[in-house]
Every structure is written in structure tokens, then in C-alpha cells.
Amino acid sequence: MNQTLRDAFARQLDDAGRLDVDIEALIDQGETRLWHRRLAVVVGAAAAVVLVLATIAGVTGSHLVGRGDGPVDHPPTPAPTRPIVYSDTQFDPRSGLDNRSGDSIHVGNRLVNTGSSFIHMDVIDDGAVYATGGYTDEGRVWFTDGGTPVQIGSHACAAPHGAANTVVTGNSGSLAAWFDCTRTQDPALVVYDTGPGHEVVREQVSQCGARYATCYADAIIGDHVYFTWTHYPHGGHVVVTPLEFDMATGRISKVKLAKGAGDALFPDTYDGEPQAYLDDIRSNPRGLVIGDSWETGTPTPFGLGFSVVGKRLVPDSNLPAEPRTSAFDTATHRPVHLHLPAGYHGAVDFGIFAWLDDDTVALIGPTGWGGETFGDQLEPGYGDILTCHLSDGHCDLAAPGHGPVRLAAGSAVPG
């Protein structure tokens, strides 16, 4: 039973007489084949053991040594490219703004009829959010993905002087925020998620309901909602306090103003910006740092103006003595160098009004509600919309303006 191949061949050779064969080669070949069979059996058994262990781990939740407890690291899903959102309003400049016709909103390549002559809108990942009514009705808030609008709120506190913060959205995501000024209760901060279609925050803020006090949302960045509380203690001078609501903890806290920061976000509230807000912009994509370098510049979410210099779009500074500056992308820290579309001749300045994705911004030419004219003619490039890629500086003319009025998402609305 335990004899080797060598012994078996030797005995058979003796029985059969002399044969002209290479015994050593035959023996080596036999031993090799036997070793391969044994190796296959061992490998098959090992594979079966691994399969059993993997099955047990899947059923019991156990993991092999070196395997983390966290979820499988799938590649992140890229954020969707946002639509370009704007409105072309028809009115007779000779009769004033009171004779405006109903506004329609362009949401990408779709046109949405709002039936309102006073409208403020903001872009979100899946469409647009807008508020109607101004100072005259219940301040209804609507959402549209390019189809029939759906009302998602009411009694939104109308921002003063047509400022762009009746409703605010972030540079990414599907959240919108506003203050609900229902008269029977203290104003409440509302945050609505248009993705699932429901409120995720309704936080009453007692300070906002005090006499001679108002609150308005200013910005959303990540889990933070920034807003301002304006009040007149004892009938004296105005006091404006910047506040932050943390959606992760539900806490409201005061935030300090940054030293030396310009006034790019809250033109109707206070002459500076919260340091926490600036830090949030710097640490998130879809923002710009304005100045001589990434390290020393001031963050801004958008609202930056660009002047046409030759074929380039050069960022404008807030300093009269230094009208030109540099811009740096918060996602890459690289400088931004934008240039006009080939053959474009039109506007002499543009302003960023929306981020469409991490690398693409939308800019609009002059929009003076019919006032920026040369004689009886609109200024060249009036209402032209460009889309520009920060990575290579390439811009395209996405929506030529045609007058008399074009209002971009996130813009102030004359009252």
C-alpha cells in the first residue's frame, strides 16, 4: 500500500524482462503528477475554508483581521450640475416697475410660469426655490424642478429693500432657509430640504419676535445657517447681531465679526462678515479667496465682480486704490484665470451669481433694470450670461441677454 513508484517499476521490470525505457524520467513524471494532485486538493480545501469564513462573517457581522468596521468605501457620487436660473421681466420703463408683467423663471432649458410680478429666486441642486408677494401678500415660498411649482412655505419675512435674503440656499445641496413671520407666534427659522420634500428645521427664535426686532437668513454652508438679528433696544440706535444655527446640534450662537472683512454678503445689515462664516467658505469647495494670495486673501462665496481687460476677466477689488485683484479656488487653492468666449464683444463687466458645480460658475453682465443705457440703447452685453470653468478658464455664452430686464438667481429685487 505504501510502496513508492520507484519500487513498483523495479518489480514490474524484473517480471517483464529488459525494456528500452527511461525509468528515471518516468518516475520523475509520476512523482510530479502526484504532487500536483495533492496540491490541488490542498488549495481546494483552503478555498472552501475561506468561503465558509466569509459566509460566517457576512451572517454574524464579524470581520477578518485588518478589515475595518466602517462601510465599504465606494467612490463618492459626484454632485449634480445645477441648472442656470434667471428671469426675464417685461415692463414699460416709462411707467415704472409697478407695471411689470408676470415673471417666468428659466430653470435650465425649461420655462416656469410663476404668475407673480414680484419674485426672488435661488438655485438648488434639483431646481429653483423662489418667494412671491414682496410686501403685499403672505410671502409664499415655492419649489420647481422645471415643472409645475409646488408651495413649500408661507409668511416668509420679506427682506428689506428687495435684498436677496428673503430665502437663501447654499452653493451646493438641496436646502433652503427663510424666516417664517406668522403674526401669531415668534418668527421661526425654517430649513426645507427639497430632495425628500419636507422641513428639516423649524426653530422659533424669541429674540426675533421682540418689539422693533427682525431676523433674516443670510447663508447656508454645510450644517450651518447664518442669520442676523436686528433690534433697537429701548428705542435707541440699531444693534445688529450675527448668529449661527448649527443643524447638527440645534444650537444658536453669536459669531464674531472678522476684522477688516469687506461687506460682500450682507449689504443691508452690517458692515462686516462673521469670522466663522469666512472660515466655512475657506474650508469648503465652491468659494473664492480674493486677494494677493490664498493665505492672506478674504473668502467670498460668489458675488465677485470681474472687469473685461482685453480678452480676460479680471477680479475686482473692494479697494478704490487697487481696483484689480486675484481670485483663488477654495477647492484647489489655485488662482483663477478666466477669459471671454472666442469672438465675444459685449459687456465690459460681469458678476458671479451661482455655482453650477465644483468647477463651474455662472456670471451675468450688467443688469440695471433698464437704467444702464447709452442714450436710448441698452448697454452692450446687457444681461448676457456666461458659464466659466475655473480649472482651465474657458467661458461660454450660455444665454444672450435681450432686455429690458434680466434678474439672476440670488439677486436683489427692486421694491
213 CB neighbour count, 10 Å cutoff: 18
Name the band, by pLDDT with cuts 50, 70 and 90, for residue 267.
very low
390 CB neighbour count, 10 Å cutoff: 23
40 CB neighbour count, 10 Å cutoff: 10
Query: Which three cell numbers, joined as nine digits, stand for 415?
Result: 421694491
Q: What is the pLDDT of residue 77?
A: 57
What residue segments make up the domains of the chain, in order of their start? Answer: 5-60, 84-284, 285-415
366 half-sphere exposure, CB direction, 13 A CA radius: 19
Confirm if 306 and 363 have CB atoms less than 8 A apart: yes
Q: For residues 11 and 33, what is the distance between their CA atoms, to the nearest angstrom?
A: 21
How confident is the model over 26-74, as pLDDT tens digits? 344 444 444 444 434 434 444 443 333 333 334 333 333 333 344 444 4
Q: For residues 335 and 225, what is the distance between their CA atoms, to the nearest angstrom?
A: 28
- Evaluate whether the domain defined by 84-284 bears CATH number 2.40.128: yes
How confident is the model over 300-311, as pLDDT tens digits? 876 788 999 999
Looking at the chain, the whole-number percentage of residues with pLDDT higher than 90 is: 43
267 CB neighbour count, 10 Å cutoff: 14
CA angle 20, 24, 28 (to 5 degrees): 130
pLDDT at 199 > cutoff 80? yes
pTM of the predicted model as reported, rounded to 2 decimal places: 0.75
Q: Which residues contact 138 (CB under 8 A, 6 or more apart)?
A: 154, 155
Q: For residues 415 and 69, what is the distance between their CA atoms, to the nearest angstrom?
A: 56
349, 352, 353, 359 alpha-carbon torsion, rounded to 10°? 150
